[in-house]
Every structure is written in C-alpha cells, then in structure tokens.
Structure 1
Amino acid sequence: MSLNAWKLELCSYSSSNTATIPAYGRDLQHRKPPKSNISAQLRRLQDHDFPDDARQLNNNNVDVFERSTEGKDASISGRTDSEERNVGENVASLGLASCLKTRDIRDFNKAVPVAPLVLSDPGDPIVQVPASISSRLLEHQNGGVQFLYNLYKKNHGGVLGDDMGLGKTIQTIAFLSAIIGNSTDEEEYQGDQRRNRINGGPILIVCPTSVIHNWGDEFSKWGDLSFSIYHGPNRDLILEKIVGGTVDILITSFDTFRINDKTLCKIQWDVVVVDEAHRLKNEKSGLYKSCVGLQTKKRFGLTGTIMQNKISELFNLFDWVSPGSLGTREHFRDFYDEPLKHGQRLSAPERFVRIADERKQHLSSVLKKYLLRRTKEETIGHLMLGKEDNVVFCTMSELQKRAYRRMLEQPEIQTLIHKDLPCGCGSPLKQVECCNRTVPDGILWSWLHKDNPDGCDSCPFCLVLPCIVKLQQISNHLELIKPNPKDDTEKQKKDAELASAIFGSDVGLVGGSTQNESFMELSDVEHCGKMQALGRLVSLWVSHGDKILLFSYSVRILDILEKFLIRRSYCFSRLDGSTPMNLRQSLVDDFNRCPSKQVFLISTRAGGLGLNLVSANHVVIFDPNWNPSQDLQAQDRSFRYGQKRHVVVFRFLAAGSVEELVYSRQIYKQQLSNIAVSGKMEKRYFEGIQDCKDFQGELFGICNLFRDLSDKLFTSEIIEQHGETGEKDSNTKLVLGSTLENKDLGVVYSHRNEDVVNMGGRDASSSLIENHETSRKCKREEFMLIAEFMGMRELEFSKWILSASTTVLEEMLQKYKKSKC
C-alpha cells in the first residue's frame, strides 16, 4: 500500500479566530513538531533493539489532516514521494497486515498528533506529556498516565497493574516527563547547563538488577530526562548530583537499595516507583522494611502479578503505596482475607458464600481507587492473534512410577506422613513430638544434619522441601536425582546412595546411580513419560512448520532435551544462565528471523523476562512452578504485541505425582487472585483452605503432598465432578487436535486452563452470566457447523480463520447462509 495519502499538518488555528482558542491551545500555536515523525517510527519498528512498547503506533486521539497541495505536504512531513513509497514497502515487510482488520488499516492512515497530552484540569497549571512521547502512546497507555497523575496530584500512591507487555515502563516515563515539566524547546536550556525543573524533589526508581539498564535505555529513547544509575562504583558521586539537584531521576536495584537504605531514605523524594512491586508481598523481608522508610507519600508500584500466593499480599503492597487504605492488618485479615477464603470452599454454607460475595465486591471497590488493572485482551486484543493455555497430564513411565513409590517409602517421608499419630512408646505425645522427631536412619536427614546429630529446631519439618524436590525430579526425569559432579565428594556419595535406594532393582535400566553422559541413553524417551509425549507432539508440529519454545527450570533437563533434539535432527537455539547477556538478543533475533530454527530451548529463570519471541506459535513448559506467575511470564515470551501466529501453550504435568498438587494449588491461587483483585466469580472446586489446619482438604497439609496419586485421576476427577467442562476424551481431542485422537500420546488427561480458572460460579444473582454463557454456547455450536460446512475440524478451522482475509471470510459466510436456505 502506497503511503502517499499519509499527510501531516501542524495543529493550527485561524488567526481570525484566536479568541476561541483555549489557553493551552494558544501556547501551542508555535510549538515545534515532535522529534519522531511517521517515517522514524516505522524505522524503529524494524529496529530489534527498540522496546516493544515503543513500536506501538498511536491508533487513538489523532486526526487526519489533508492538504490540497502535495508539495506542501512533503515540506511539512519532511519526506519526498519516493521516501513515502519506501515507508510503504517497510510497512509491508513488517508482516503486520495479516493481523490488522479494516479499522486498523484505517488507523494507519492517521497522522501523528502534534499536541501534547494534557493531564491537568482546565484552570489548573498545565501539566502535559510532551508531544514527542504522547504521539507514540496507545489509548490504554494514555489512560494509565492519567491514572498515575490523578493519584499524584492528590498526594497519594497507587499500583499500575497492567498485564506484562502493555507498557508499564513507558507509561511511567510519560507520567514522570509530565510532572517534571519536560520539554525539548531550546528555551529550556541555558548554554550547556541543564536547568533543574523539579518542584518537589528528585525521583527514585527501584527495580530488579536485570532491568536497570533497560530503564536507562527507555529514558534515553522516550524522554529527555536526566537520570543516573545508583549501582556499582561511584555511588557517592551520583548521590551528590541528586542532592545538588542536577539529576532528575535515580535508578537503583533492589539489593543496592536495601544495602544503602539508610542513606537513600534520608532524601526527601518527590516520587518513588518500585518496578516488579510484587516483591513487596512479604512484610518480613528486608526490602519491604527498607521501602517503608522512604520519605514520600507518592509511592507507585508496577506489577503484572498483583497477588501471587496469598490474599494477605494485597495488604502489604497497598499498605505501602497508600498507608491505611485497607485499614489495619488485623482488620484486613478478619474482614477480607478469612471470609474470602472460607467462602471459596466447595462445601461452604450459603451464609459464608453470601458474606464472601459482599466482601469481595467491597474490596474490589476499595482497590479501584489505588489500582489500575488492564489485560491484553481488553486493550490490544485486536492487534494480537490470541492464545490458548492447555494443561496436559502426561503419564509417567513404569520405571518412574516404581521410583516414585520407593521415594514415598523412604523413612523421612514416612515420618512426615505419620507425624500426628500417637507415639509407639506409649507416650501421650504425638510421634513428631516424641521418638520420631529425628530420622537418624534416613539418608536425606543424616546429610542435612551431618554436623548436628541431635537434629535442628525445625525437625522433622526441615525435610519437607528436600523431599518435595526429589519427588518433582522423579516426575520430570530420573536422571535428575543422580549426584551432580560439581558438588563436593561427600554430597555426591550421599546422593548416589539415595539414588540407589530409589532405583532399587531398576538401577541397571538407568545406567547406574551416577550421572550418565551417554548420548544415546539420555536422548532416549523410554523412561520419561513427558519426553514420550513431547517427542510425538514436536514431530507433528515441526511437520506443520510450527516454531516451538521449550522451557524448563532445570539446566540438566535442558542438557537432556538438547540431546533429544539433536538425535531427531531438529534445528534449535538455546538460552540459559550461562549465555552472555550481549549474545541473548542476537539469539532471539536469529530465531525470529530464521525459518529453519524450529525449537528454542530456554531456562525459565534466565528467559522468563525481557525476551520477545513473537515468531513462535507453540510454547511448552516442561516443569511447572508453585508460583503461577512464573509460568505465565514464560508464556508471554511469544504472546505479546507483534506476535505472528496464534499461540498454543502446553503445560506438561506428570499425572499421579506431586505436580498435580502444584497445579491444583495454582488454580486455587489464581482463583483467589481473581476474586480479591477483580471481584470476579469463580467456580468452587476444593475443600481445602490455605493456612487453615481445620480445613486442609485435598490440597494443603503434608499428608496431601506425600500422597500416592498414581492410581488416581486426581485433577480430572475434581474438575469434572465440580466443573462444567466436557468429558475427558472430548477435552483431550479439543486441546491436542483431532489429528491426534487415534495416536498414543502418553496423555492421561488435558484441559484448557482458562475453562477451569475463569469459569465462574452460578447462583441466583448470576442470570446475566448464565445468559452470556448460553449465548456463547450457541455461537460455539454455530462455529462448529460452519467448520463442518468447510470440511475442516474445529482447530483446523480456527487457524484458517486467523489467516483468511476479510473478503474471503465474507464470501465463505455468504455461501454458508445460502446452503442453509
């Protein structure tokens, strides 16, 4: 498409009608155009070093200006006709046309607004975002900047809780540019000296170490603010600049701030911004205690995961940004926390459910004063191609099942399971309080207490985490429980002894109790249920030209998967903690550009943040995490603005293992978050209540963690008994695709996570929701009829729709309507 029609004109007013011009309009009559014009912005879209948020063209708050003389247009925009044609070719090469409908293409024909974004109310002193920044903001980002400013002028703090990838950093920079009074006009400079334009003191940004320089890069690209990074050497010199008023903004890391909190808390800050603010969830942490001492009321948190594990985390975060907004800690626990948890119990009395519903609505209304939360679907959903989050329960191999049972029979786990039984010595005390407080015959216990044969103050509960780790290792790959050659000799000896006990008579089948480096044995999938399923699925995906992200928390698993891919001649890339920082972006760019790159192996810890792998359309998370946000961050590497295809996520779980408990608790935590933060209705599945010994149910407590689930369909039974999803077989076909229904995938059960977590409960007050569900069901039935008319399966038809043009879709619908007549 030629862009000769793209015309730019400065905002101007008729000289004969200046009386009608608003005050701020008269100030802008001679304002210079922004530093970034359309051509420059489009060139940035091709620059891989430029952040995703800055690639978003402003589709809102713009007007189309047309001029009658083409030569004048060229002089205003600064581009010749040939340059315009080159810009058009650049747009075509971006591959954006496939994801833009008619209204989006129309938005591309709009001009960049020259006027800044005014935040202040009429009659107040003008506070505005410079046009060079506001011209590149999307509508939801404009709203976020206005939200931050509204809190600021009321001398309050708040939380910007947008989904990952919606530009929280950019919105913050735009807000700071406005309150500092930033401008690119020459009169703001006096020679080589920068004039200090802060009225209320400097600004502090505290963030993870890994994104410190990213913040600096964003300030350089988006704003014209003076900043310094308070990290590493020369901190005293930087601090002098802040105190002297020659620097607007100080950026530091969590650890540096915690270590130097006494110095930094002496400064009277105008604004404090904490990135990844969910790190403030624990009031006992050193970081939280340090942040409490900051001298400002204007505290802002940025996080896409407002609540991760417990409702009490909400209190800690919002009591920091706006002290007293949720009352006292005791009030919050009694009025919100306990009623919401008890009301979500499956067999909760109707009175409890009703009280929980009232309290969640009240909590949601209070949080809205200090929280702005938007999702990708409701903001830039029309610019994206969608995502499915599937959970796949893979059967463990027979060898894994035997090893798992032997681990459950170890004396440490048996002691934990029987901790509350009466002691066999005749004492009225429980076993954990009497003879079985220590486990001297346990291999794990003797290693952990090698320097203290009498045990520690936490015995035997100090064994819980090590035992869970061993069970998770068995669930993923038997090679993980073998000793690590990098450990000291004594630890390797103990690990080998435990591995021999777990393998038992099967030790020969796994190449012994020490780490095996045989390429053929490690790349073989026979003794790993997840790898059996992965092998069949990857083969199918690659044959269809799909690109796959494969995540794991374990570097050892990545080593094994690498051999697995080499054996099958797949072309892949790999990124983990050992990958140099200066090479990571080139690996990402190469994977996105190169069609031959089929799989990207990524360590979840190293690649959970900051990577934009938009060319991938399949994401596999090999091992789940207790914290659901970690898995969601991994998914978002490909599900973000600029994605090229519909993204399908597969979370692998070992059926009958502790991973089922991990996932069930993820469901529980996500539902509590939806209830407490958004006031949503969620289906009640579980009897257990977090942190309540009287209602541990099927989820909580040590006995549940170490239960043998190998002969049960634990999660599927809960979901299908209390949920509204379809039968197991039909669910598996729906998730994995009909082309796989007759193949042995090694999959016990599967479902879509969004069908379970965001299902919503039913009661007398939910008729509107029921009507919506009925309407959605009718639409789904109609969709399946159209797919049948086209001779396609449902999943195949969904992919076809995403790639079809508007004209083709209209022709297809007309033919379908004629066939019904």
Structure 2
Amino acid sequence: MTTSTLKNENVEAEAASASAKKEDEIEDMSEEEKMLADIEAEQAKSEAKESTVPTVAPTLIRSSEAKDKGSQLDELLNKASEYSAFISGDMKQLQEEMAMKAEMDDKKRGKKRKPTGEEAKSMAEYQSMNADYKKDQKKAIFTQPPNLAKSCTLKDYQLEGIRWMASLYENGVSGILADEMGLGKTIQVIALFAHLLMQGTTGPFLVVAPLATLPNWIREFEKWLPTLPCIRYHGTKEERAEFFMKIDPVTKQNIAPLKKKDVKAKHFPVIITSYEVAIRDVKKLSSLGPYTYMVVDEGQRLKNRKCCLIKSLKVIEAQNRLLLSGTPIQNDLDELWSLLNFVNPTIFDDLSVFQSWFGFKNIGQETTEGSIMKNEREEAIVSKLHDILRPFLLRRVKMDVLSDMPPKKEVVVYAGMSKLQRGYHANIEKGILRAELMKAGIKEAHMISQINTLMNHRKNSNHPFLFGEPIDNATGQHVGTAHPQLLIRASGKFHLLDRMLTKLHEKKHQVLIFSQMTEVLSIIEDYLVWREWKYCRIDGSTKIDERQRQMDAFNAEKTNGAGGKRNDNDDRHFVFLLSTRAGGLGINLASADTCIIFDSDWNPHQDSQAMDRCHRIGQDRPVAVYRLLTAGSVDMEMMEKQISKKKLDRMAIAGGDFRKGGSRSKSDKLNHATLEKLLEDDIHDFANKSDNIEDIRIDDDELDGIMDRQRLFEKGSNELKAEGRMYDILESKTSDNPLEAFS
C-alpha cells in the first residue's frame, strides 16, 4: 500500500470520526439546539481563520500587574458592596413590614366602596387599587400586584423575589434569578411586569427562551396577567413579519407598520420568542427597542461569551436585563462571569481580573481543596467572590422555601461488565473493535470510529449492541428480538435495570428513565415492549404538541384510578423514557416518584434538571433517584468530573448563601468548617469501587434495601447505611440541599 493511500485513508478515517463524534454529541438535542450549534460552529470556524495571534496562558504576574489587578478587585468589591447595601436595606424593611401586610389588606377590603354600575365599578376599583398599591410600595410593604388574576396567589418567597428584582430596577442594575427549578421563576417575572405596570412603567418587554418552553410562557401569562397581551413570536418569516404591523383592535386586521410610540402603549404585547428567532430577527427586534426589560430564560445558555446567541442579544438594547437560571454555574467560573458580563457589562468588563483571582479550575486536581482553604484563610478569596456576586444573584432551593416538599434521595448503584462488554472494552483499547465486529458479521461495524475511543467506551458501558446487534442464525432475527434475555444479559447496566424495574413495577411506582443517547432509549423501548409495560418517550425529535400529549397521558395516571386515586392497574403508563437534554426543560412529570439516570452527563446540572422533572411542586411522594454506573468504565471518570463540578457549585453558590437579596440569610461570613464540608468528596470510597468487581453484581440484600422506600428514607437506628459494597447514597453532599446541610 502506498504512502499516499495510507494518508488518504487516515484523512477519511479522521473525517468519519469527527462526523461520528458530532452526531454523538448532538443526537440528544432538539431541532432548535442543532440549528444553533450549526450556526455557532460556522461562526467559530470563521473566527479561527481570522485569528492569527496564538493564545498563551499567563504564567507569572509582575508586581505592577498584581497591584493593578488588586486595585481592580477592590473597585469591583466596592461597587458590589454599595449595591448590596441598597438592596439589603430594602429587603430588610420588606421583611420587617411583611407582617403588617395581611392586616392592612383586610382593612382595605372592608372599606372598599360598592359601585352602582358595571362601568363605574371597573373604573373605581382600578383607581382605588392603583392608589393603594403605589402607597404601599412607598412604605416598602411589597404586596401582590393587584392587576394579577384574582385566582392566583404568590408565595412569600416569590414576593421577596419580585421585590429584589424591583430593587435592581430601581438601582439601575440587572441580575440573575437563580432559584432552583420548579420554584416559579416564570411567575415571578410576570408579577414583576405587573408591578412595573402598576407603577406607571410600560414596556416593551421581551422574553427569549428555549422553543420547548414558549407554550408554557404564553400559558402562564394568560393565567396570571390576562390584562397584558403576549405574543409567541415564532413561525415562518411571513408570519413573523405580520407582527410588525399595527393591528386594529376591532377588526384584528393589519392597518399600518408599528411605530415607536406604539410599543410604549400600556397594552403593547409582551414578545416571547426563541433563541433561534432572536438570532435570525435581531435587527427587527432591535427596531422596537430599547426594551424596558429583556428576560432570558435558561440563561446558562449564555455561558459561552463568544456564542452567536449572546452576541445577538447584546445588540438588542434593553434598559434592564434579567437571566433566569436554576444552574448558574455549569462547568467553571469563567462561564459565570459571561452571565454577569451580559447583565452588567459596565461592572463586569474584565475577565482577566476575574480569572486571576478566581481560577478554581478542576477542584481536586488542578486546584486542590487545601489550596482553596489556604487562600480563604490568608486572603478570604472565596468570601470575596461571594461579596461580588451578592447584589446580582438570588437563589432559593426547594428545601428552603417549600416546607411540604417531599424529600429526595440520590443513590449511585454500580453494575459490573458482562463478558461481552469486557471483550469489547479490550478491543476498543487495542483499536481493533471495528475489524473484530466486521468479522462477526455486524452490518453496522464499518461505520465505527476507531479514533473516538472515549465515545466507544461510553457506548460499551451502556450496551454493546449500540455498535450493532448480532443476528440469530436460527431465526434470522436480531438476537435481542429472538432471545430478549440476551438483550438484558449483554449489558451489566441492563441486567441491573431489569431487576430494579421488576421491583418498581410490583410496588406500583412510576418511573422516569434518562439517557444521553437516543439509541439507548430505543434498546430500552424494545425491552419494555417485551415486558408488555406501557411507556412514553420524548427525545430531541419529538414535536412540542406531542410532548404535551404524552405528559398529559403519563400524569393522568395520578388521578384516573378508582375514586380519583392513582391508577395502579397494569394498564397504567409505567415508564417515561427521556433523553437528558431534550427532556430536561419545560416538562412536568410530578406523577412519577422514581428517576433513573441510566448514563450520566459530564455536566452535573443536566442530570439535576432531569431529576427536577419529578421532584417539583405537585409531587406528593418521596422521590428516589438511582444513578447507574458501570464499574471500571468511563462512567467512573465522568462521575469524578461531576463531583469536581459539584464542589465548585457548592463553594461558589451554596456557600455564598444567596437566599436573601444583598446579604447572607444566616451568618455574617463563611466559616472555615463550612467551607471544608462544602469541599468534601460526595463519595468517600469512590476510587476503590472499580477494583475487582467486574464480574459481580449488587446482591439481593443490598438491592432490596435501596429499593425499599421506607428503609431508604428511614431515620435513626434503622437507617440504611450510606455506603454499601455496590451502592452509595448521596444525601447532604448534593448542591440541591440548603446550606444548613453543610453547617
């Protein structure tokens, strides 16, 4: 074979590998996310060609540079301190006077004049509530805006959230509402708009959100603030163009192009659009600005400061910006800076200063826990980070504010490799998997990338049939179809899943199963068909209307049994299959009380979002989350990365205690013991879990223990051990728990 032929083959192999890798990475995305990924990939390619200066990481900072960076840090701290003082004073006053609110409201209701006619009644009530509301706000007694629907009532923590956002608005700064998923960030935004309207502040208001969540935004506006129209700005180019025409309120016909004065009208609709449309129509949307408020839902999407979306949104002028994100830290603090730079570009204008003080890269490896403790003792670095974030970040978690929220426990369960998986593992390491599978007659074998070994190991740890399924010579069918038990026995995780689902079905639970790979969902689907268990499925290809139909069908099991109770008969929908990324947003499946993470994401927050599909408002049972890991595989490496990122999240966010606007809710500062606990490993004996357990499985006693809900949530002398031979229970170490768990 000639050298040129070898080179050509290598180039082709690399191209095929890159293509396969890209497909693996995007298979779990929605159509909108795929489009955004393509746009941003093209942009990155273009920028790479234009760039001729190599990026070199700084090694040493000269004394003059260090002094300058120190003064810049002090300036940033001073700015943050000033804003914190304004906001905490406002929030303190609100807290002290909240008790007076109920009594005052009762008195006002008793004195309300009874109008004689319908028109007079409407006018008098509006004038009365407007005057009373403005009077209350001057006294800093934050009451529910009276223009919200009478049937809707905000919770106290939501009122505090709105007051915090109003304080930001009054002080001319923007922020991040980082409440945990399921606490009503959408409702708080709607109530903020209602508050501004009551104060005489009009729009226009712009909401940019993932496509999947647009129907929910429309639904919540119609429910909570029906007097303010909203429009889903989406659809074809022609359909979107119609919005920029003035509509006659009687005939509903387009009569003239919109003008600047039109958008400042009291009832100009809130514009709710998707990321993709915001990029495509950035000029048109900009023409309606400046916006009073621009809200970006799932704001962590802006973590990459060079992404196409953030560049487009920065073009759109807005007096105030608000990010909504239940997961403000995804991977590192550079991404958090990107969010802060978007909302307050004049305050957070220098990433290099932020990086020089708050590196914290890969905690446990590049940055040791000991060095963090030392820096905190000597220079209070972590505390300074908290002080900088304090005025611009508000985060409450379910366990803080929902006293009736059922508990949640996460259990990591380890599976050994099957003989087939061990053989595939060895072939991947040797680089001969494709050749061996082609010899075995696997049709899909020629498509396997030999270069992308990491993805091959991920697939093998889930199920070896992801590389292609052997044919049964006797029947001519795939072996999993001809012999379903072989489908189960081929994968250690599948064998474990089968044992778990059998017990869960017997105990009448409903289960969510998440995977990164849609092909894994298809194999599980084959298994469920064989078991004759009813199921639903959502992945990136599922249309919005179909998503809602399946959610409704699955959630109906909670009330369609005898007497309106749960349906425990075998005709119930037992399992809901979801791809982690496509199924992590805009989905409420609180009828399920069990979540199985079949394979983990590199990013722990993606898995947290998945768990929150069932552990949310409306859940009335304790929730068990089971995370499956194949011992001795890449699963362990991914879990180690998750543990490191959780430490960063706990240190930067949970440790900061951002439950009150502008100040800590408990102590004045972070103490040494609390920081040490925040940096502890989630699993103490994790390194030894891979040793000598390839050929074994969790025994019946351990499995029965973690599957028994009463034992799993038991406290006291009968409490289940937190660490078993083939499982670990993660409790207080998760970032979802309130700060008291670390104190």
In structure 1, what is the equivalent of residue 651 of structure 2? 675
SS at 1:149's partner residue? helix
Q: Classify 1:228/1:510 alpha carbon distance in 2 versus 1 (closer, same or farther; 3 Å).
A: farther
CA-to-partner distance for each residue in 1:440-483, whole Å, 9 max, x for gaps?
xxxx999799xxxxxxxxxxxxx87x322211111101111128
CA-to-partner distance for each residue in 1:676-726, whole Å, 9 max, x for gaps?
22336245568xxxxxxxxxxx99xxxx9xxx9965689xxxxxxxxxxxx
Q: Classify 1:645/1:527 alpha carbon distance in 2 versus 1 (closer, same or farther; 3 Å).
A: same
Q: Classify 1:735/1:355 alpha carbon distance in 2 versus 1 (closer, same or farther; 3 Å).
A: farther
Q: Residues 347-366 of structure 1 correspond to what in structure 2 (within 5 A)?
A: 348-349=370-371, 352-354=374-376, 358-366=380-388
Q: Is the 8 A contact 1:270 1:298 kept in 2?
A: yes
2:553 counterpart of 1:590: no
Q: Classify 1:399/1:513 alpha carbon distance in 2 versus 1 (closer, same or farther; 3 Å).
A: farther
2:624 counterpart of 1:648: yes
Q: Classify 1:367/1:473 alpha carbon distance in 2 versus 1 (closer, same or farther; 3 Å).
A: same
Q: Classify 1:344/1:335 alpha carbon distance in 2 versus 1 (closer, same or farther; 3 Å).
A: same
**Structure 1 letter corresponding to 2:214:** I
In structure 1, what is the equivalent of residue 518 of structure 2? 555
SS at 1:608's partner residue? coil
CA-to-partner distance for each residue in 1:97-136, whole Å, 9 max, x for gaps?
xxxxxxxxxxxxxxxxx98697733399999453536951
Q: Is the 8 A contact 1:339 1:352 kept in 2?
A: no
Q: Classify 1:257/1:649 alpha carbon distance in 2 versus 1 (closer, same or farther; 3 Å).
A: same
1:138 is displaced (CA, Å) by: 0.6
2:125 counterpart of 1:31: yes
Q: Classify 1:327/1:174 alpha carbon distance in 2 versus 1 (closer, same or farther; 3 Å).
A: same
**Structure 2 letter corresponding to 1:287:** L
Q: Classify 1:209/1:515 alpha carbon distance in 2 versus 1 (closer, same or farther; 3 Å).
A: farther
In structure 2, what is the equivalent of residue 149 of structure 1? 166
Q: Classify 1:405/1:509 alpha carbon distance in 2 versus 1 (closer, same or farther; 3 Å).
A: farther
SS at 2:149's partner residue? helix
Larger Rg over CA atoms: 1
Q: Return the structure number with greater relative CO, CA threshold 8 A, min gap 6.
A: 2
**Structure 1 letter corresponding to 2:172:** N
CA-to-partner distance for each residue in 1:418-454, whole Å, 9 max, x for gaps?
xxxxxxxxxxxxxxxxxxxxxxxxxx999799xxxxx
**Structure 2 letter corresponding to 1:162:** D
1:569 is displaced (CA, Å) by: 3.9
**Structure 2 letter corresponding to 1:171:** Q
Q: Is the 8 A contact 1:519 1:563 kept in 2?
A: no
Q: Is the 8 A contact 1:117 1:134 kept in 2?
A: no
In structure 1, what is the equivalent of residue 398 of structure 2? 376
SS at 2:489's partner residue? coil
Distance, in Å, in 1 between the alignment partners of 2:556 and 2:455 is 35
1:293 is displaced (CA, Å) by: 2.1
In structure 2, what is the equivalent of residue 92 of structure 1? none
Distance, in Å, in 1 between the alignment partners of 2:511 and 2:143 is 50
Distance, in Å, in 2 between the alignment partners of 1:638 and 1:395 is 28
Distance, in Å, in 1 between the alignment partners of 2:510 and 2:296 is 35
2:474 counterpart of 1:471: no
Distance, in Å, in 1 between the alignment partners of 2:301 and 2:345 is 17
Q: Is the 8 A contact 2:602 2:638 kept in 1?
A: yes
SS at 1:388's partner residue? strand
CA-to-partner distance for each residue in 1:372-429, whole Å, 9 max, x for gaps?
100000011x22111101111211112111211210111799xxxxxxxxxxxxxxxx
**Structure 2 letter corresponding to 1:319:** N
Question: Which one of 276, 293, 305 corresponds to residue 271 of structure 1?
Answer: 293
Q: Classify 1:558/1:729 alpha carbon distance in 2 versus 1 (closer, same or farther; 3 Å).
A: closer
SS at 1:525's partner residue? helix
In structure 1, what is the equivalent of residue 41 of structure 2? none
SS at 1:305's partner residue? coil
1:656 is displaced (CA, Å) by: 0.8
Distance, in Å, in 2 between the alignment partners of 1:643 and 1:544 is 18
Distance, in Å, in 2 between the alignment partners of 1:125 and 1:649 is 38
Distance, in Å, in 1 between the alignment partners of 2:500 and 2:607 is 20
**Structure 2 letter corresponding to 1:208:** P
2:620 counterpart of 1:618: no
Q: Is the 8 A contact 1:735 1:751 kept in 2?
A: no
In structure 2, what is the equivalent of residue 181 of structure 1? 198
In structure 1, what is the equivalent of residue 494 of structure 2? 531
Distance, in Å, in 2 between the alignment partners of 1:15 and 1:649 is 50
Q: Classify 1:519/1:162 alpha carbon distance in 2 versus 1 (closer, same or farther; 3 Å).
A: farther
2:205 counterpart of 1:230: no
Q: Classify 1:611/1:354 alpha carbon distance in 2 versus 1 (closer, same or farther; 3 Å).
A: closer
1:566 is displaced (CA, Å) by: 3.5
In structure 1, what is the equivalent of residue 728 of structure 2? 751
SS at 1:269's partner residue? coil
Distance, in Å, in 2 between the alignment partners of 1:239 and 1:366 is 41
SS at 1:644's partner residue? coil
1:328 is displaced (CA, Å) by: 1.2
1:552 is displaced (CA, Å) by: 2.3
Q: Classify 1:446/1:237 alpha carbon distance in 2 versus 1 (closer, same or farther; 3 Å).
A: same
Q: Classify 1:126/1:394 alpha carbon distance in 2 versus 1 (closer, same or farther; 3 Å).
A: closer
**Structure 2 letter corresponding to 1:481:** F
Q: Which runs of 5+ in 1 are unaligned?
A: 1-7, 19-26, 36-113, 183-196, 414-443, 450-462, 484-506, 687-697, 715-727, 742-746, 761-765, 773-821
In structure 1, what is the equivalent of residue 354 of structure 2? 332
Question: Which one of 319, 335, 340 corresponds to residue 313 of structure 1?
Answer: 335
In structure 2, what is the equivalent of residue 285 of structure 1? 307
TM, length-normalised to structure 2? 0.65
Q: Is the 8 A contact 1:617 1:646 kept in 2?
A: yes
Q: Classify 1:166/1:350 alpha carbon distance in 2 versus 1 (closer, same or farther; 3 Å).
A: closer
**Structure 2 letter corresponding to 1:534:** L
Q: Is the 8 A contact 1:315 1:329 kept in 2?
A: yes
Distance, in Å, in 2 between the alignment partners of 1:290 and 1:623 is 34
Question: Which one of 388, 398, 402 corresponds to residue 423 of structure 2?
Answer: 402
**Structure 2 letter corresponding to 1:354:** E
Q: Classify 1:343/1:545 alpha carbon distance in 2 versus 1 (closer, same or farther; 3 Å).
A: closer
Distance, in Å, in 2 between the alignment partners of 1:592 and 1:568 is 22
Distance, in Å, in 2 between the alignment partners of 1:344 and 1:513 is 53
SS at 2:487's partner residue? coil
In structure 1, what is the equivalent of residue 99 of structure 2? none
Q: Is the 8 A contact 2:375 2:381 kept in 1?
A: no
Q: Classify 1:400/1:509 alpha carbon distance in 2 versus 1 (closer, same or farther; 3 Å).
A: farther
Q: Residues 89-108 of structure 1 correspond to what in structure 2 (within 5 A)?
A: none
SS at 2:380's partner residue? helix
Distance, in Å, in 1 between the alignment partners of 2:372 and 2:511 is 46
2:601 counterpart of 1:638: no
1:9 is displaced (CA, Å) by: 13
TM, length-normalised to structure 1? 0.59
Distance, in Å, in 1 between the alignment partners of 2:140 and 2:462 is 64
In structure 1, what is the equivalent of residue 154 of structure 2? 137
CA-to-partner distance for each residue in 1:573-627, whole Å, 9 max, x for gaps?
4444555524224323334333232333333344322332222222111111112
Distance, in Å, in 2 between the alignment partners of 1:383 and 1:280 is 34
Distance, in Å, in 1 between the alignment partners of 2:522 and 2:208 is 35
Q: Is the 8 A contact 2:205 2:292 kept in 1?
A: yes
What is the aligned-residue RMSD (CA, Å)?
4.7
Distance, in Å, in 1 between the alignment partners of 2:275 and 2:125 is 40
**Structure 1 letter corresponding to 2:626:** F
In structure 2, what is the equivalent of residue 108 of structure 1? none
Question: Which one of 481, 485, 490 corresponds to residue 467 of structure 2?
Answer: 481
SS at 1:625's partner residue? coil
Q: Which runs of 5+ in 2 are unaligned?
A: 1-102, 114-120, 247-257, 435-443, 560-566, 657-674, 713-717, 719-723
Distance, in Å, in 1 between the alignment partners of 2:186 and 2:522 is 35
In structure 2, what is the equivalent of residue 303 of structure 1? 325
Q: Is the 8 A contact 2:231 2:271 kept in 1?
A: yes
SS at 2:465's partner residue? helix
Q: Is the 8 A contact 1:479 1:515 kept in 2?
A: no
Q: Is the 8 A contact 1:158 1:301 kept in 2?
A: yes
How many residues are aligned here?
A: 555
SS at 1:633's partner residue? helix
Distance, in Å, in 1 between the alignment partners of 2:628 and 2:474 is 25
Distance, in Å, in 1 between the alignment partners of 2:589 and 2:408 is 14
